[in-house]
């Protein structure tokens, strides 16, 4: 039943040999849909965040969104150039984590990697929460189920990604390209309206007008809010292995296309908001107001407006998929360096890193529960989580060029230096003015870094203990004592005793007797003697109902004696396997407990004997 359900939801397993085939990797068109939705969707709230900060002092301050927008575009250009360099320098993926680890230090790399892992969870949480907001705004009756819709979207995206890269990318192409086309057409039509005189100038204040209350602090806060539009730019550099060959070339080209589209959208929306004089109104986004003003109130205009709103809701809902692509790849790279469990390097039936996908989904759902699906509380953490690795990766690339070109590194690293300065500035501004919103980020990163280092230390210790040396001492055992745990004399016991004789030269049957079962235990001993007169039957009595402690104590006692004699001890735990899998929960609970407690003792081998039921 489980296999059928798994096949229905996830699909049939793919052969490992198909992993490297181009048919299961991404084209530039598919990659743009799969890896750019996060960055492109931020257009729906990034420019609005700038206006919200500026209008906190005066609606006349909106003209400042234009110079702020120019600085955001400069940062976008810097990040694009930098991450193109990262793609070519580190085609194995890993992005900021790999750059920072190799050029700064492993600890700095862990900070960058941990920040991005958390940020991808926040990406999913913010995106699906925003998508749910858009859905419930259009259908108010669903508003009480906002959190439920968010969780449903996470689970839906999880299933899509478990089915594989190509399948999820194909599914996402329609909403992503619908948003790109509708937004670019809206901006283009807006400029045509301006040039033809059909869209009047209604700016709240002309460019350069002095506005009371505008300060450097306000402008810096507005800039950091607008920089939220750049989250997701790094995702492509983390996912280079997912591209068709030539991987680095295709990934870099996709990044450039995404940055160009993002830049045009951000610049166009920022300018049109200023020209039309859009002022934030509760319950209606500035993007929706702009679309209404440009498209008009005619029947065709209303239809186009709803199409645009639908495309916005869809892009916000699927923007989370960027995290589902980048998180597993980053987890893989960190696991390869032994900073995360090795299970994150394993691929599932559909050749996706399924453990990373599961972890991301459940982490995002946990964040949705903790923050009640409130995007305003999630976005500050989202921003700090991405700009810390941005800053570290830019710094790492400067060091990379220094190593490669020596004193001639400056001409190669101008974009990185500029980007690093701006990114560190954004982090500083967030620390100074948004600390009350972002403080949870720091204890989380400290704990994650400690956890990564602990995992690495554990793997190193394991490798040291398992490594073969020329002078390794080989143990020569003189025999094997097999202790068979017996509850009742059944067919399972008969089979277990026969198997025990085949692996040991000494077989002991061990039974635990309590005060309540003394009479029955005596009958078990007699019955056992009838069936196995040549096997010693040991009865261990206890005053308590717990049979685990006396069993463990007896086994330890035998193991100590056997060790002195140069013998091994094997504890054989009989169990039966029901015909149907679901029935297994009704049986074998005590055998599971016994095996769990016995496995911690060094000189004891724990084995199972399984008897399969036919009915």
Q: Supply the DSSP string of 345-414, one letter for each residue.
A: G---TTSS-HHHHHHHHHHHHHHHHHTTT-HHHHHHHHHHHHHHHHHHHHHHHHHHHHHHHGGG-HHHHH
Task: Read off the pLDDT of residues 583-604 as tens digits, 9 standing for 90 and up.
Answer: 777 766 788 888 888 888 888 8
Length of the chain counted residue by residue: 615
- Higher-confidence position of 149 and 15: 149
- Mean local confidence (pLDDT), 56-80: 88
The yes-or-no verdict on residue 582 having pLDDT over 60 is yes
Phi and psi at 101, nearest 5°, equal -65, -45
Q: Does 372 score more than 90 pLDDT?
A: no
Cα-Cα-Cα-Cα dihedral sign, residues 425, 429, 432, 436: negative
In this predicted structure, which of 28-37, 318-327, 440-449, 484-493 has the lowest mean pLDDT? 318-327
Percent over 70 (pLDDT), the chain: 92
- The two tokens of residue 282 are 């509760």
Tell me the DSSP string of 60-115.
GGGGGHHHHHHHHHHHHHHHHHHHHHHHHH-TTS-HHHHHHHHHT-HHHHHHHHHH
Average pLDDT for 231-239: 78
- Using pLDDT thresholds of 50, 70 and 90, give the confidence band for residue 258: very high
Quote the distance between the C-alpha of residue 141 and its chain's center: 32
- Rounded Cα–Cα distance for residues 227 and 262 (Å): 12
Check whether 24 has a pLDDT greater than 80: no
Beta bridge partners of 512: 540
3 state SS for 451-511: HHHHHHHHHHHHHHHHCCCCCCCCCCCCEEEEEEECCCCCHHHHHHHHHHHHHCCEEEEEE
Q: What is the distance between the alpha carbons of residues 138 and 304, in angstroms, rounded to a whole number?
A: 15
Whole-number Å distance between alpha carbons of 110 and 389: 10
Domain with CATH 1.20.1740.10 in the chain: 22-458
Helical (H) or strand (E) element with 560: helix 548-564
Check pLDDT > 60 for residue 23: no
- What was the pLDDT predicted at 254? 92
pTM above 0.75, yes or no: yes
Of the candidate ranges 33-42, 360-369, 449-458, the one whose mean pLDDT is the lowest = 33-42
Q: What is the DSSP letter of 153?
A: H
Give residue 287's pLDDT band: very low, low, confident or very high (50, 70, 90): confident
Fold of 479-612: Rossmann fold (3.40.50)
- 479-485 and 536-542 as β-strands: parallel, antiparallel, unpaired? unpaired
- Decide: 114 and 447 in contact? Cβ < 8 Å: no
Q: What does residue 545 show for φ and ψ, rounded to 5 degrees?
A: -80, -15
Distance of alpha carbon 119 from alpha carbon 230, whole angstroms:
13
Tell me, what's the pLDDT at 6? 44
Terminal CA-CA length for the chain: 18
Least confident of 123-127, 455-459, 534-538: 123-127
411-452 tens-digit pLDDT: 888 888 888 888 898 899 888 888 888 888 899 999 999 999
The SS3 of residue 285 is coil
Average pLDDT over residues 202-227: 83
Main-chain phi, psi angles of 433, to 5 degrees: -115, -10
User: Cα separation of 104 and 100, whole Å?
Assistant: 5
CA torsion sign for 160, 314, 93, 117 is: negative
How high is the mean pLDDT of the chain? 83
User: What confidence score (pLDDT) does residue 456 get?
Assistant: 94
CA 250 to chain centre: 24
Structure tokens given for 192: 């045509």
pLDDT of residue 405: 86
Distance CA 403, CA 577 (A): 62
Specify the CATH number for 22-458; select among 3.40.640.10, 1.10.8.350, 3.40.1190.20, 1.20.1740.10: 1.20.1740.10
Burial of residue 325, with CB atoms counted within 10 A of its CB: 0-12 exposed, 13-18 middle, 19 or more buried: buried
C-beta of residue 576 within 8 angstroms of C-beta of residue 610? yes
224 alpha carbon, distance to own chain's centre: 25
The tokens for 212 are: 């009371």
Q: Where in the chain is the domain with CATH 3.40.50.620?
A: 479-612
Q: Is the pLDDT of residue 18 over 70?
A: no
Q: State the maximum Cα–Cα separation within the chain, in Å, rounded to a whole number.
A: 107
Percent of the chain's residues with pLDDT above 90: 19
Own/partner pairs, 284-287, CB within 8 angstroms, 24+ separation: 285/44, 285/45, 285/48, 286/47, 286/48, 286/51, 287/43, 287/44, 287/47, 287/48, 287/312
Distance CA 225, CA 45 (A): 10
Torsion of CA 147, 153, 159, 161, to 10 degrees: -130
């Amino acid at each position: 039943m489980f296999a059928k359900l798994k096949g229905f939801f996830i699909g049939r397993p793919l052969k490992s040999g198909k992993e490297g085939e181009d048919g299961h990797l991404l084209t530039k068109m598919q990659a743009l849909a799969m890896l750019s939705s996060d960055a492109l969707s931020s257009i729906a709230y990034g420019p609005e965040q700038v206006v919200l900060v500026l209008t906190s002092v005066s609606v006349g301050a909106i003209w400042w969104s234009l110079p702020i927008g120019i600085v955001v575009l400069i940062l976008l250009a810097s990040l694009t150039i930098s991450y193109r360099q990262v793609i070519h320098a580190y085609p194995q993926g890993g992005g900021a984590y790999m750059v920072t680890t190799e050029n700064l230090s492993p600890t700095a790399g862990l900070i960058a990697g941990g920040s991005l892992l958390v940020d991808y969870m926040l990406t999913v949480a913010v995106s699906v929460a925003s998508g749910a907001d858009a859905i419930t705004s259009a259908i108010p009756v669903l508003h009480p189920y906002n959190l439920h819709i968010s969780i449903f979207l996470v689970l839906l995206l999880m299933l899509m990604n478990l089915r594989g890269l190509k399948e999820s990318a194909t599914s996402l192409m329609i909403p992503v390209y619908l948003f790109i086309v509708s937004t670019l057409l809206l901006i283009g039509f807006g400029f045509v309206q301006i040039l033809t005189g059909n869209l009047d100038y209604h700016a709240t204040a002309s460019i350069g007008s002095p506005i009371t209350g505008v300060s450097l602090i306000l402008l810096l806060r507005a800039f950091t809010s607008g920089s939220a539009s750049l989250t997701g730019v790094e995702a492509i550099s983390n996912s280079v292995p997912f591209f068709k060959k030539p991987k680095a070339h295709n990934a870099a080209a996709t990044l450039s296309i995404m940055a160009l589209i993002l830049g045009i959208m951000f610049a166009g929306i920022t300018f049109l908001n200023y020209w039309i004089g859009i002022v934030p109104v509760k319950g209606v986004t500035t993007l929706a107001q702009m679309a209404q003003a440009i498209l008009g109130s005619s029947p065709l205009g209303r239809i186009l407006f709803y199409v645009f709103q639908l495309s916005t809701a869809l892009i916000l809902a699927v923007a989370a998929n960027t995290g589902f692509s980048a998180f597993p790849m980053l987890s893989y790279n960190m696991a390869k360096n032994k900073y995360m469990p090795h299970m994150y390097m394993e691929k599932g039936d559909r050749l996706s890193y399924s453990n990373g996908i599961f972890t991301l989904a459940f982490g995002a759902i946990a964040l949705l529960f903790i923050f009640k699906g409130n995007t305003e509380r999630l976005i500050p953490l989202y921003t700090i989580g991405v700009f810390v690795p941005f800053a570290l990766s830019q710094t790492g690339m400067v060091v990379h060029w220094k190593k490669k070109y020596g004193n001639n590194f400056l001409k190669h690293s101008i974009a990185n230096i500029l980007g690093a300065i701006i990114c560190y500035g954004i982090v500083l501004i967030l620390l100074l003015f948004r600390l009350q919103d972002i403080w949870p980020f720091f204890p989380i990163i400290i704990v994650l870094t400690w956890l990564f280092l602990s995992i690495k230390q554990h793997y190193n210790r394991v490798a040291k203990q398992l490594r073969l040396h020329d002078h390794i001492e080989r143990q020569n055992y003189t025999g094997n004592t097999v202790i068979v745990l017996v509850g009742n004399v059944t067919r399972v016991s008969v089979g277990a005793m026969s198997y025990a004789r085949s692996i040991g030269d000494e077989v002991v049957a061990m039974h635990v007797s309590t005060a309540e079962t003394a009479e029955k235990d005596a009958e078990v001993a007699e019955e056992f003697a009838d069936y196995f007169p040549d096997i010693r039957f040991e009865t261990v009595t206890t005053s308590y109902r717990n049979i685990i402690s006396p069993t463990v104590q007896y086994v330890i006692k035998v193991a100590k004696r056997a060790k002195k004699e140069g013998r091994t001890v094997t504890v054989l735990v009989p169990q039966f396997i029901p015909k149907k899998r679901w029935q297994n929960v009704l049986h074998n609970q005590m055998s599971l407990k016994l095996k769990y407690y016995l496995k911690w003792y060094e000189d004891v081998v724990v084995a199972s004997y399984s008897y399969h039921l036919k009915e």
